[in-house]
Each structure stands twice: as C-alpha cells, then as structure tokens.
Structure 1
C-alpha cells in the first residue's frame, strides 16, 4: 500500500506508471473534484476511474475486499474516511467473489489503517486486503474517485 496527496506526488514513491496516471491533467484533484459522477476512461488507456458519492459506515459493518486483476487508487474528493488494510498477500485466504475481481474476505487480518482527507489517496495492489469507507467518527457521505488499474499495466515494472 502506498499513500499520499495529489498535490505532492513527488514525495509518494509511486511507480512510474501510476505517477503518469495521476500526473494526467484530467486526474488532478481539481479536475476530479469538478468531474461529473460516473466512469472516466481516457482514450487508448486500459485503466479507468469511477467517480461518485459513497457512504461511510461504522467499521464492523464494512466488508474487506481484495482484487487479483486490478490495483486500486482510491482518492477522497470530499469528506474523509478511514481505510483499514493488511500488509500480507491475502490471495490464498478464503474469499467469496462478489463481482468479477471483487473478493470479499471472511476473516481478514487488517493490522494498519490510513485516514484520508480531500486530495489524499491510497494505492492497493492486487492481493492487498482493504476495508474502505470506514467512518472517521460518525457515518457520513463522501465523494471519491476509485481508479482501477489492470495488472497488465505493471508487466514491466513489477
């Protein structure tokens, strides 16, 4: 897991390809914040981004997920959330595939957490468990962008 703020990409240690995505003029904080809700996919790009409203909940109500084929870049645009996450590969743990490439863990081991505010992002690579949309204090509505970057995107950098 990597995290940072869109205004300070040079300090985040992002791999070159992920940095290129977030450096794109359509992916700056202001551009994303002003974008319409829905799917953003630039021409000739494998990755895409879903922008929209979501509701945080108390941590015990949130499911923990991981992906096998996509990395997530989760960017908070309005509001704030806690994301709990694990630091070991969970792909061999018992999980249910709820949607294509969305695996829900029944007994996650989440030893870390990150508090994201507007402009902050967290990157979760395939196999990294994460429990997003946990309320900071009380459940609330936030707006966020979630980039889905296919594993094939990393073929030359992993």
Structure 2
C-alpha cells in the first residue's frame, strides 16, 4: 500500500472493518447469500470509491480491509456498507425477513481498526527524535558552509 495524494493532503486511510449479522446468525453459510453479499459490498465500494484491499465473508461475519478518501468519515462508510447491503440482500432474499423481522440485518455494533505501514512505536520514535531538533550532521554541515557561528552551534 502506498500513500496517496489528495487535493489538500497526502496520506493513507485504511481500516479493518468487521460487520456482524444481528444475533450472529450463520446466514452466510448459504453460498448464494454469501456470494450476493460479496458482490453487493463490492458494488457499494466501487460506487463510493472505496478501495477493497481484502474481503472475506465467513459464516457469521464479514471482514473488510478498506481504503477511502479523507472526506469520508468511518461512520459514514460503515453506514453505507450496512444500509446498502441489508437493503439489497433483503430484496434478493426475502426469506431473510423471516429471520430478521425487525428489519435490521446487521448488529448495531461495529469493529474497526486503523491499519498502516508503520507501528505506533515507530511514529512515537519519529516524533520524539526527529521533530524540531536539528541533527548533529546538519549542525556540522551548517558550520562548514558558513564561517559565522550561531549561538545554537555551541
């Protein structure tokens, strides 16, 4: 995964998201429902310009590894995924309404974790060690280039 350039920024927003059907029923044990769910989630992601790095639909939950634009909030992304997929799955499989008579396919909770190429320890080290402190090498280089010495050179 690489950093992307946006109109006013440069970065990466990737999340591991887990969606769980209400009551954790094994609805994706049915291969047709599983395939339809994969297709529907792919369509929702393509329509909203979310990039799917990985997706796995298992019997009682769905794993998604997504990247999206910084103008989208995580809650908005999850809302589109849950709302759009439940609407479409209920349309394609009306028998699901018998099991989910309240109209909610997905549980109200969500799991998410931001994912990146570096660890939290790496970022802490970078901030602590490199920000605002000129390195010894840059001080020496500045001294060699200029004959006038500065107070912070001592």
- TM bin (shorter chain): under 0.3
Give TM-score, length-normalised by structure 1.
0.23
Larger radius of gyration: 2
Q: Which structure is higher in helix share?
A: 2
Higher relative contact order (CA 8 A, sep 6+): 1
Give TM-score, length-normalised by structure 2.
0.23
